[in-house]
Structure 1
Amino acid sequence: MTKDVIALTPKMPDINTLLAGLFAGGPDLGINPLAEGAVVQLCAPGGRPLVSVEAPLLVQVPGEAQRLLGAEVAAPKEPFWWTEARASTAIEEGERLAGSFAGRLTAVLDGTVWPSEAAHTDVVPLTPETATAAPAPEATPPAVDVLTDKAAVVIQDRPVVAMTSWLADALRTASASDRALQIVTPPHTSLTLPTRNALHGHPNRWVIQDPDSGYYDGLSGAQLHWQDGHFTPARTAEGNARIAEAFKPRPTPDSPDAQGERQLILSLHTTHPADEHLLLGGALEAAWQALTGAPPAGWSTAEPIALPWSRRQLTELARTRAQKNIPTWLTTVGTPDRPAIATTRITHTSAGIEEHITLTLGHTADEAPPLDVLAPLAETLATEHGLTSMLTTLRSARRDLTVPPRFEAPPIPLSFTLGANAVSEIGRAHAQHPQGGLRPAQLGHTSRPALHYILGDGTDPNSWTTLQQLTQHLKSA
């Protein structure tokens, strides 16, 4: 497995400071650059990687250290530099080398190490076994602990597993080689929503190592075992998957349901003409402003979120990637006092430039979700931001927007909006008269309206049936 150690510093670690940190094991260690210099590996004389260090990242968005490392972390005031090291614990000295590397950086730059107990500045001598250890296979990415023909396994012991650049690289590598990405964590760990979205569905898995229940899937609850080079469900004699006891719902005084915590979720699809003057992010910004009273705080292609919100910059990135026929995936966050996070996938298709956005906002029992804003927002998106469709749902879940390894009730539909172009393609008369007496409100221009369907108040699971019937009706045109 690996051990993560992170240096948080108010100043950028320059080359001399980084070299001083990399000499934590003495002058006999080698340095191996990877990913065009974005990652540097500290290696034993025999070539075995001991510590992998990512290039320092300037974090300019408030609250990211606390969101991902815990409220108690004493991070410098933004902006600060985030330098992450991953140590191989297959080698005895790896974890202490990572701690010495981070400790040396923060001693020089007056920063903080996470976890704090890992920090020190001692030289770590190598044992003869480490000095002569064989190198790891070249195909193994720095973030991967176990690589088999079927799976790339990453072992993490962090309070929150975020979709870091390390993890994104492991996911890309696994996908390109037709492997599953399987993240193994202890039961106290949670996921960010971007990580959960990336792991959703077969063959990727979130594997919980529970002292009482053994291994189980943190998203489905299926008990797992290691077989043929990957974690797979342990089935009964009848062939059914067993659900781990630790995953099953257990009402407690601090559960989201008991506390009245809820999440409001908007799934947006927008389509724009491929115009050189197009500025993306407008639909997301309008939704954020309407629902929170402020624009997004920051965006990035990985977590932690490093860049202040900028529609121009994210458009430039998407345009550059589109020229290489590469879709753009990014995450957006809000301010710490108003938990909100969104994932966006931008693609160039025959229909134009498409944005697929999922925006989630957290609320306590004392913070009523702004449901009265949804219809006016839908009209704004339909008339000004190329809305194709929008589904809004409500669920009982954590306000902090993290995903625990336990059963969570599914969201319940509130409304569905069909953009004007979609209404025109389906046929206005057909779209306005679905079965069951559901009658949509017309939004925008009367000659070419968008349609807004109210499905429920977020408390009745039968709203899913209503949505299914509506979807079938719209597809039957």
Structure 2
Amino acid sequence: MTKDVIALTERMPDAPAVLAGLLAGGPDLRVETAGEGAVVQLCDSEGRPLVSIEVPLMLQVPSEASRLLGPGAEPSGDGPAWWVEARAAAGVPRAEQLAGAFAARLTMLLGGRVWPPDAPGTVGAARPVDVSGITAVPAPAAAQPAVDMLTDAAAVVLQDRPVVPMTSWLSEVLRATVESDRSLQIVTPPHCRLSPPTRMLLQALPSRWVVQDERCGYYDGLTGAVLTWQDDAFSPARDESGVSPVADAFTEIGPTDERQLILSFRTLHRPVADLVLGGALEAAWQTLTGGPPAGWGTSEPAGLTWSRRQLTELAYERAPRSTWTVVVGTPDRPAVATLRVIRTPEGVEEDVTLAVGYGPDEKLPLEALPELADELVTRHGLKTMLCQLREARRDLSAPPHFERPPLPYAFALGPAEVQEAGRDTASRTPLKDRPMPLGSSARPGFYYALGDGETAESWAALEQLLRHLRGAPPA
């Protein structure tokens, strides 16, 4: 397995400190750059990378370290920390020790801690790692620093950490695989989980989560299909009848009393000069958690303190390209969202998916959803909103076993969509409960209750509602 070693430093890594870390292998290793200078690499005498080191990320949200790395990983000190990731090349002896020594040297000079704390190379890091005779496998020209194997069909990334986040490294690999018509395949041991952004992107794009299993070899962590390596990629294995078996490890689960509330909504704004984005997400966050988001960023960890103004400035700089961001909460109320800002002919659209976790004894604020929908219609240009419930982990991470799919609980329609469907059609539905009007009476939206969110009947209610709004005949 490729090993990632992370230095969480109390002070900003300056040039002398980084240089001292780079000398962990002595003066004979070469230093190269990649990713337009965003990645520094320690290379062997032939210029082949042994360790890749990303530009330090300022971490203004300390709880991000424990969310992604586990309890006890929080940076020491009261101020911000710096997250410095070093990635050891796959299958290279002593490369992991070199990465650990680099991280340990940084924390020796700048204060802080290394994750994992028992990483090879962290003990006696003041002495150079013996790299005599060490060589790396030549990297394909098209490979990203985070890619461990590149074929014509797939980019394979090996990960071994508690939660696999959508880091800037991984998001760059995902972009490159889409552009090159490859599949991103993330290979992990069975104890790893996916962060919500990583799971959502893997499900939306050609990609696969490959989980190692001692009984069947490999299986898909999201579908359970047993996998085999064929045609330069991991693909579902087939039995004699052509059916792909499901791994036993995927189905070996117990009941849970933990819940997730998931809101997916879209808003549309006129592109005026004083537009400030993020208001709809902030309103939903306040309603469901009692406070605003803690942080945001264009990848994980989301190291910036939440700021609607900074979010707007970033989206403005990137326009007309879309802007994708991660938004995170605090440990006392786990919440993670993805927000995509899209410039369309109609205006500026925000596409949000927000998930909030609840424990066995915590009440879900379901009674607040109609009021939230009304606020989104009145103040934030709501187009549509789907509210769903699911039995799943409170911390929102995705384990490599079966989880029940989310069930619809409620649906909301904005005024423009009501007008498109027809006011009479939108207000008179075949559902058991009458819809609740939202916003102004002259141009209303509507909130539709779909059931209790605990049985599959709510899916039938949603399908019936959507067919009715589209003017299709009953199924």
- Same fold? TM cut 0.5: yes
Q: Quick one: structure 1 residues 3 and 90, their matched pair in 2 at CA, closer, same or farther if it must change by over 3 Å? A: same
Question: Matched residues in 2 for 1:349 and 1:74: separation?
Answer: 40
Displacement of 1:213: 2.9
Residue identity matched to 1:407: F
Structure 2 unmatched ranges of 5 or more: none
1:364 to 330, 345, 359: 359
Structure 2 counterpart of 1:125? 130
CA contact (8 A) 1:249 1:408 kept: no
Structure 2 counterpart of 1:469? 464
1:294 to 291, 294, 301: 291
1:237 aligns with 2:230: no
Secondary structure at 1:20 match in 2: helix
Residue identity matched to 1:5: V
CA contact (8 A) 1:102 1:113 kept: yes
Moved more, 260-269 or 236-245: 236-245
Secondary structure at 2:405 match in 1: coil
Residue identity matched to 1:104: R
Q: Quick one: structure 1 residues 308 and 138, their matched pair in 2 at CA, closer, same or farther if it must change by over 3 Å? A: same
CA contact (8 A) 1:62 1:336 kept: no
Q: Quick one: structure 1 residues 436 and 380, their matched pair in 2 at CA, closer, same or farther if it must change by over 3 Å? A: closer
Structure 2 counterpart of 1:346? 341
Displacement of 1:439: 2.1
1:430 aligns with 2:431: no
1:211 aligns with 2:190: no
1:172 aligns with 2:198: no
Residue identity matched to 2:387: T
Aligned-residue Cα RMSD (Å) equals: 1.3
Structure 1 unmatched ranges of 5 or more: 252-256
Structure 1 counterpart of 2:96? 95
Question: Matched residues in 2 for 1:274 and 1:443: separation?
Answer: 24
**Cα deviations across residues 217-239 of structure 1 (Å, max 9, x unaligned)?**
00000000000110000012222
Question: Matched residues in 2 for 1:134 and 1:159: separation?
Answer: 27
Question: Matched residues in 2 for 1:392 and 1:399: separation?
Answer: 17
Structure 1 counterpart of 2:42? 42
Report the count of equivalent residues.
Answer: 467
Structure 2 counterpart of 1:313? 310
**Cα deviations across residues 387-419 of structure 1 (Å, max 9, x unaligned)?**
001010111100011100000011111110000
Question: Matched residues in 2 for 1:391 and 1:203: separation?
Answer: 25
Displacement of 1:275: 1.6
Where does structure 1 differ by over 3 angstroms across 4 or more consecutive aligned residues? Answer: none
Structure 2 counterpart of 1:254? none
CA contact (8 A) 1:46 1:134 kept: no
Residue identity matched to 2:86: A
Residue identity matched to 2:98: L
CA contact (8 A) 2:62 2:81 kept: no
Displacement of 1:249: 4.4
Structure 1 counterpart of 2:264? 267
Structure 1 counterpart of 2:274? 277
Structure 1 counterpart of 2:192? 189
Question: Matched residues in 1 for 2:414 and 2:74: separation?
Answer: 46
Question: Matched residues in 2 for 1:474 and 1:276: separation?
Answer: 34
1:330 aligns with 2:330: no
Residue identity matched to 2:343: H
2:161 to 150, 158, 164: 158
What TM-score results when the alignment is normalised by the length of structure 2? 0.96
2:350 to 355, 368, 376: 355
1:5 aligns with 2:8: no
Secondary structure at 1:224 match in 2: strand
Secondary structure at 1:37 match in 2: coil
Question: Matched residues in 2 for 1:437 and 1:460: separation?
Answer: 15
Secondary structure at 1:414 match in 2: strand
